[in-house]
């Protein structure tokens, strides 16, 4: 019994130390979706650099202008000082005569909440094998890191009054951060906006009766989207209204999110009879308890400027939608 008590005490001490270490670490630096790659210049300009760029500099396929998934900063190892060690996302690539080679995923090495990966390889050929075998895992590692940071931030700074109102009046649970206002509140449609002098971020939430499984098709969901937007989202001129741009690619995915079947659409919106437009993301779920379909979507209006981080922020908000 004494030994068990000692083990429990030691476990508590170790846990407390780990928690204290987290608290003692400085906060991470850098903007969302930035990746610091520590690599020698000659390697960056050769096969290793090209492989990294092929994954993290790949273009997001539904934005109106070309934008990479991550913004990459590369630095040589001799410049990897404390100013860079506190960055939020770090990929360290070391190529040389090492006894042990491979890949390691770590968190909170020099800052919190930090995501760090190190790849050690003897030569380019070995690096290519290690990287290609883990490139999807690598991308998801840093992508999920940004989603988690943003989710935690929005939960911490959510607009409780607005969220409670949506829950009370529409029986919908969603996390809306402070800075948004409820501009339209109808019986089956809400328009929640974040307006700044430079750009607009908007959230639409709408719902309708569930009829059958044909609801969850790309064609049906786009038709419903256009129906609601034409009714509730007028444009700046007479006869203008928001709708879906069909001349650009429309991405449709299906997956499970928080045990709920979810249909996801990503594409471009436009204003009929006007010249406004931008990207949107739409998530649709079945609310079994109330026999209805709920769609939440986010859109960005920021002409000729980077929209990646703005639309990614809205995607996190949309994913916070919960059904009973």
Hey, is 299 helix, strand or coil? strand
Tell me, yes or no, whether 258 and 177 share the same domain. yes
- Distance of alpha carbon 221 from alpha carbon 67, whole angstroms: 27
Query: 154, 185, 203 — which closes off a domain?
Result: 154
Q: What is the domain count for the chain?
A: 2
Tell me, yes or no, whether 211 and 279 share the same domain. yes
Nearest to 265 by CA among 291, 231, 300, 295: 295
pLDDT tens digit sequence for 129-188: 999 999 999 999 999 999 999 999 999 999 999 999 999 999 999 999 999 999 999 999
- Distance of alpha carbon 296 from alpha carbon 316, whole angstroms: 11
Answer yes or no: is pLDDT of 10 > 70.
no
- Distance of alpha carbon 69 from alpha carbon 63, whole angstroms: 11
Tokens of 114: 């930090």
Tell me, yes or no, whether 169 and 305 share the same domain. yes
> Taking the alpha carbons of 93, 98, 101, 107 in that order, is the dihedral positive or negative?
negative
Asked whether residue 6 is assigned to any structural domain, the reply reads: no
According to the model, what pLDDT value does residue 108 have?
Answer: 97
Asked whether residue 49 is assigned to any structural domain, the reply reads: yes
> In whole angstroms, what separates CA 217 from the centre of its chain?
24
206 contacts 185 by C-beta, under 8 angstroms: no
Q: Domain of 168: which CATH number? A: 3.40.1000.10
Query: 154, 169, 199 — which closes off a domain?
Result: 154
pLDDT tens digit sequence for 277-308: 999 999 999 999 999 999 999 999 999 999 99
- Distance of alpha carbon 194 from alpha carbon 300, whole angstroms: 10
In the chain, pLDDT over 90 holds for what percent of residues? 87
Nearest to 95 by CA among 132, 130, 70, 71: 130
From residue 165, give the alpha-carbon distance in Å to each of 170, 180, 298: 8, 13, 19
pLDDT tens digit sequence for 194-218: 999 999 999 999 999 998 878 889 9
Tell me, yes or no, whether 195 and 120 share the same domain. no
Tokens of 108: 């909170």
112 contacts 25 by C-beta, under 8 angstroms: yes
Which of 4-8, 178-182, 261-265 is most confident? 178-182
Tokens of 137: 């895992």
Tell me, yes or no, whether 146 and 173 share the same domain. no
306 contacts 279 by C-beta, under 8 angstroms: no
The secondary structure of residue 28, as a DSSP letter, is P
Predicted confidence band at 24 (pLDDT cuts at 50, 70, 90)?
A: confident
Tell me, yes or no, whether 27 and 46 share the same domain. yes
According to the model, what pLDDT value does residue 22 have?
Answer: 60
61 contacts 143 by C-beta, under 8 angstroms: no
Predicted confidence band at 6 (pLDDT cuts at 50, 70, 90)?
A: very low
According to the model, what pLDDT value does residue 323 have?
Answer: 82
Dihedral, 22, 25, 31, 35 alpha carbons, nearest 10? -80
According to the model, what pLDDT value does residue 21 have?
Answer: 54
Tell me, yes or no, whether 128 and 171 share the same domain. no
Answer yes or no: is pLDDT of 311 > 70.
yes
Tell me, yes or no, whether 87 and 67 share the same domain. yes
The chain-wide mean pLDDT, for the chain, equals 92
- Distance of alpha carbon 151 from alpha carbon 199, whole angstroms: 22
C-alpha atoms less than 13 angstroms from C-alpha of 81 in its C-beta half-sphere:
2
- Longest CA pairwise span in the chain (Å): 81
The whole domain housing 229 covers 159-319
- Distance of alpha carbon 199 from alpha carbon 201, whole angstroms: 7
Asked whether residue 9 is assigned to any structural domain, the reply reads: no
Predicted confidence band at 256 (pLDDT cuts at 50, 70, 90)?
A: confident
Query: 124, 154, 184 — which closes off a domain?
Result: 154
pLDDT tens digit sequence for 136-152: 999 999 999 999 999 99
């Amino acid at each position: 019994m004494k030994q068990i008590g000692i083990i429990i005490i030691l476990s508590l001490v170790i846990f407390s130390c780990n928690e204290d270490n987290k608290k003692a670490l400085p906060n991470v630096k850098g903007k969302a979706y930035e990746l610091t790659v520590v690599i020698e210049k000659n390697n960056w300009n050769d096969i290793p650099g090209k492989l990294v760029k092929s994954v993290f500099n790949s273009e997001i396929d539904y934005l109106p202008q070309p934008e990479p998934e991550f913004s990459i900063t590369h630095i040589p190892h001799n410049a990897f000082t404390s100013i860079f060690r506190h960055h939020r996302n770090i990929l360290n690539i070391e190529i040389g005569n090492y006894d042990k080679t491979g890949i390691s995923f770590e968190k909170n090495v020099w800052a919190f909440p930090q995501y760090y990966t190190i790849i050690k390889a003897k030569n380019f050929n070995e690096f290519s094998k290690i990287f290609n075998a883990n490139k999807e895992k690598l991308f998801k590692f840093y992508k999920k890191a940004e989603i988690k940071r943003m989710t935690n931030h929005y939960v911490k700074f959510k607009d409780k009054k607005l969220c409670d109102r949506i829950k009370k009046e529409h029986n919908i649970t969603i996390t809306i951060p402070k800075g948004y206002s409820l501009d339209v509140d109808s019986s089956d449609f809400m328009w929640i906006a974040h307006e700044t002098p430079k750009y607009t971020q908007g959230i639409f939430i709408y719902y309708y009766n569930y009829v059958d499984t044909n609801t969850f098709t790309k064609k049906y969901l786009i038709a419903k989207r256009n129906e609601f937007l034409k009714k509730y989202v007028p444009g700046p001129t007479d006869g203008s209204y928001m709708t879906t741009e069909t001349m650009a690619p429309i991405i449709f995915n299906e997956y499970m999110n928080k045990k709920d079947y979810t249909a996801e659409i990503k594409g471009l919106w436009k204003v009929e009879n006007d010249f406004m437009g931008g990207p949107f993301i739409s998530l649709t779920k079945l609310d079994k308890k109330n026999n209805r379909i709920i769609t939440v979507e986010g859109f960005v209006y920021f002409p000729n400027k980077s929209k990646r981080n703005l639309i990614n922020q809205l995607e996190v908000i949309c994913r916070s939608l919960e059904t009973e």
